[in-house]
Chain A
Amino acid sequence: DAGVTQSPTHLIKTRGQQVTLRCSPKSGHDTVSWYQQALGQGPQFIFQYYEEEERQRGNFPDRFSGHQFPNYSSELNVNALLLGDSALYLCASSPRTRVVVGTEAFFGQGTRLTVV
């Protein structure tokens, strides 16, 4: 089992550009969440996808959007990049059937995004 896989591992973008990050959940998981982790801070919840729809959203602007595909993989898109968007972006997957009572979220290695 490959666990949660994310691509790319590192990315450098210029202010104003757009970026797409990708995530494949752990086998058997159908719910994908995205987190932003700034240097030296805890991860902050961006949004969560289940059944190809956004189900929960944290306090992030509309520049952050996502998508989930029928195979449960997911994309995070960020438009009009700002310097402050530089961070580690983590994807976490969980099995939906247990999500309502709280269960382990399995994290990927993350994508390190640097905006210059």
Chain B
Amino acid sequence: GENVEQHPSTLSVQEGDSAVIKCTYSDSASNYFPWYKQELGKRPQLIIDIRSNVGEKKDQRIAVTLNKTAKHFSLHITETQPEDSAVYFCAASQPNAGNMLTFGGGTRLMVKP
């Protein structure tokens, strides 16, 4: 089955700096890659996603890049703010797998004011 690895497990940045979180996946058939943000005690919420027919996607301060050949994708957050502090999860799913998501282990991002 699919295996998703995520690095780093913790990331501390100064407010205004950029943050990058990286994920690798094992199943070359995977074609959908969402990123979820989970604040303490709250539900995971989708912040951005990318499909395998696209190499990069941007939404304001957040961007995701996908390298299908290397089977890795990354989340980039620019101009970080204290409210960006949370745990971020990457995930992958395969076609016709009913949106079954395989998650990475998570990255705890701390943005220091």
A binds B: yes
Residues of B within 8 A of A99 (CB): 98-99
Map CB proximity to B onto A56-77 as digits: 1 under 8 Å, 0 otherwise: 1011000000000000000000
On whether the beta carbons of A104 and B34 are closer than 8 Å, the reply is yes
How many interface residues does A have (CB within 8 Å)? 31
Cβ-defined contact, B43 with A107, below 8 A: yes
Contact across chains for B103 and A48 when beta carbons are under 8 A apart: no
Name which of B51, B97, B98, B101 has the most chain A CB atoms within 10 A of its CB. B98
Whether B106 lies near A94 (C-beta < 8 A) is no
Alpha-carbon separation in the docked complex, A101 to B36 (Å): 18
Is A44 within 8 A of B103, CB to CB? yes
Checking B36, B44, B93, B102 against A102 with a beta-carbon cut-off of 8 angstroms, the contacting residue is: B93
Of all chain A residues, which has the CB nearest B36?
A: A107
Report A-chain residues with C-beta under 8 Å of the C-beta of B113.
Answer: none
B-side interface residues toward A, CB under 8 Å?
1, 4, 6, 31-32, 34, 36, 42-46, 49, 51, 89, 91, 93, 95-106
Is A90's CB within 8 Å of the partner chain B? yes
Please give the residue numbers on chain A whose beta carbons come within 8 Å of chain B beta carbons, in ascending order: 4, 31, 33, 35, 40-45, 48, 50, 55-56, 58-59, 90, 92, 94, 99-110
Neighbouring A residues of B99 by C-beta, 8 Å: 31, 33, 48, 94, 99, 102-103, 105
Q: Can you list 21 contacts pairing A with B, beta carbon distance less than 8 Å?
A: A31-B98, A33-B98, A33-B99, A41-B106, A42-B106, A58-B100, A90-B44, A101-B32, A101-B51, A101-B95, A102-B51, A102-B93, A102-B95, A104-B46, A104-B49, A105-B101, A106-B46, A107-B43, A109-B42, A109-B43, A110-B43
